[in-house]
C-alpha cells in the first residue's frame, strides 16, 4: 500500500517500537515525527535510525505540548499528511522509576495522555487539506 513509505506520527514513542515494527515489516519510513520526553529514549531511537540507514526524515521532539496546530500545520505542509498515528503511554518507562509521578490520569506524567486526543483531533481536522 505504501511503496514510497509512510509518514508516521509517534506520540510518547518510548524506544521506537512502532518504528522498528514497521521497518521489520519492510514498510519504508518516509517521515517520522517522534515525540518522547525522555532524552535517553530519543537517543535510542536516533541511534537505531542511523544504524539501520533509514532514508527518510526523523524529527524528534521532547515536549508533546509544543505540538500545537501551527507546528502540526508546518510539518504537514512540508512532509504531507500522516499515514499513521501511534501512541504509547506517557506514564511508563522501562525501569518503572516514575511510579511516584503516576496517579491515575492526574499524575504529572499521566496527564500528558490528554495531549494524545488533542493532537489526534487536530490532525483529523487538518488531514483533508493534505491528501
pLDDT digits (tens, 9 = 90+) for 41-65: 999 999 999 999 999 999 999 988 8
The pLDDT score that the predictor gives to residue 102 is: 46
Rounded Cα gap, residues 82 and 7, in angstroms: 5
pTM for the whole structure: 0.83
Return the C-alpha cell found at 118: 488533542
| Residue at 1 is within a domain | no
- Local confidence band at 3 (pLDDT 50, 70, 90 cut-offs): confident
User: Considering 91, 112, 119, 123, which one is annotated as catalytic?
Assistant: 91
Q: Do the domain assignments include residue 89?
A: yes
In the residue annotation, 65 being an active-site residue is answered as no
**Contact, 84 vs 10, CB < 8 A?**
no
Q: What is the pLDDT of residue 57?
A: 96
Q: Residue 87's domain is classified under what CATH number?
A: 3.40.50.150
- Would 50 be classed as within a structural domain? yes
> Could you tell me if residue 48 is inside a domain?
yes
- Distance in angstroms (rounded) separating the CA atoms of residues 130 and 90: 28
Amino acid at each position: 500500500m505504501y511503496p514510497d513509505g509512510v509518514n508516521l506520527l509517534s506520540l510518547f514513542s518510548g524506544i521506537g517500537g512502532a518504528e522498528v515494527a514497521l521497518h521489520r515489516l519492510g514498510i519504508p519510513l518516509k517521515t517520522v515525527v517522534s515525540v518522547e520526553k525522555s532524552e535517553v529514549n530519543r537517543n535510542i531511537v536516533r541511534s537505531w535510525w542511523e544504524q539501520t540507514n533509514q532514508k527518510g526524515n526523523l524529527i524528534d521532539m521532547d515536549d508533546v505540548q509544543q505540538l500545537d496546530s501551527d507546528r502540526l500545520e508546518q510539518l504537514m505542509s512540508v512532509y504531507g499528511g500522516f499515514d499513521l498515528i501511534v501512541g504509547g503511554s506517557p506514564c511508563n518507562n522501562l525501569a518503572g522509576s516514575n511510579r511516584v509521578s503516576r496517579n491515575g490520569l492526574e499524575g504529572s506524567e499521566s496527564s500528558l495522555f490528554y495531549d494524545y486526543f488533542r493532537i489526534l483531533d487536530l490532525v483529523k481536522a487538518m488531514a483533508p487539506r493534505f491528501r
